[in-house]
Amino acid sequence: MKILVVGGAGYIGSHVTLEAINHGYEVTVFDDLSSGFKDNINASAAFFQGSTLSDTDLSRVMKNCHFDAVIHLAANKAAGESMDNPSEYAKNNIIGGINLIRACEEYGINKFIFSSSAAVYGAPEYNPIDELHPLAPSNFYGYTKLAIENNLQWFSRLKGLRYAALRYFNAAGYDINQRIIGKEINPQNLIPIVMEVASGTRKKLSVFGNDYSTKDGTGIRDYIHVSDLACGHIMALNYLIKHEKDLTVNLGTGDGHSVLDIISMARKVSNKKIEYEFTGRRDGDPGKVIAAGDNAKKLINWDPKYSELHTIISSTWNIYNQ
């Protein structure tokens, strides 16, 4: 079975590519390398450099390969940046995503795995958050993810496209066998920033808020190891193949760790003093965001294996301590 992994040179995409190859799929990676690295791509995968904003690029990669499925991970992903530059996020995330869906229709690809986000929920009305939680994005990034989910629903209804929307919580960690070593460019997420401080490439960490109603006053998030996340994509694809039914599920562990938990574990793993300072809360940052992951376990038999906090931090430190 042939799969096109769009954004497969990026942090999550390279792990998804590795997982797909390990499951015996024939993989082609399509990536513009704006934030990913060619060296991240497993040698068994074919590679095509191109952009979802180019109909020509999409046609060139699709017209001769007869793909059975697409896994779409290519997107800008910084929530704060999306509020400052919504036009760029509209272009890359919404227009690029719709171009890809349209190309799938044109070339007869009827299985589509979409990298969505817990950002579609916005500020939690309750925790843990299940798939029935109201959809009210509090940033433009979340809106772009919801926009593609809505398009997929319509293409399913009108054109028979079968899709899985995977609502990630906080992806973290690296392949435990260190087969992927490319660091993220200009990371926006907590754990790689903590690793930059530990490795000496960043002086200090800013902790946004210490007055939340949590155990230590800092924000709590649900962290999922990227290899578990990658496995979820393959299980979702297998679900589409077996059931020919659409799927929308959370991918999260149901466990929460505060910012200070992350710093404490990083200090223990790295044996480094990690400097940080408290600053004010960021607009729109909720105190606690935890997944209800029951549906993923029930529907696709997904059970995280690597998402214990020590494994997440140590696998990341192995990359940054090089």
Q: Which residues are catalytic?
A: 141
Q: What letter represents residue 228's amino acid? A: D
Q: Which helix (H) or strand (E) holds 105?
A: helix 96-106
User: What amino acid is encoded at 69 in this protein?
Assistant: A
Alpha helix (H) ranges present in the chain?
A: 11-22, 55-62, 79-84, 86-89, 96-106, 140-159, 190-199, 226-243, 259-270, 294-300, 309-320
Q: What's at 47, amino acid-wise?
A: F
CA 145 to chain CA centroid, nearest Å: 11
- Helix axis angle, 190-199 to 309-320, nearest 10°: 50
Give the integer Cα–Cα distance in Å for 229 and 251. 7
> How far apart are the C-alpha atoms of 229 and 169, rounded to whole Å?
10
Place of tokens 């272009």: 91
